[in-house]
Amino acid sequence: MATAAVSADEARLTWVSQARCRGENPDDLFVRGAAQRKAATICRHCPVQLQCGADALDNRVEFGVWGGMTERQRRALLRQHPEVTSWSAFF
């Protein structure tokens, strides 16, 4: 079991290191309201957009822009697809 956890952690570190937002100010991605749509533009050409979004959905991250999705967009996806147990597999 520890091996699986290490592998998952390593996989997360790999995609995080490739994220386009990695060098950005985190405060720019944790904004409220309409500013989230603007913040999500950094995700448009990110090579790990799907991994980031899946991670946020799998872990029920409530705040910030992840994978190009606003908080509202993630909540809507979770409501529309309650049967999904792995967003990584879904995407």
C-alpha 32/C-alpha 18 separation (Å) is 25
Domain that holds residue 22: 2-90
Amino acid letter for position 78? L
For the chain, the first-to-last Cα distance in angstroms comes to 25
What confidence score (pLDDT) does residue 8 get? 65
Asked whether residue 60 carries a pLDDT value surpassing 90, the answer given is: yes
Mean pLDDT within 64-86: 96
In 40-70, which ranges are continuous DSSP H helix? 49-58
**Number of domains making up the chain:** 1
pLDDT tens profile 20-47: 999 999 999 999 988 998 899 999 999 9
Contact 57, 87 (CB under 8 A): yes
What confidence score (pLDDT) does residue 4 get? 55
Tell me how crowded residue 69 is: count the other CB atoms within 10 A of its CB: 22
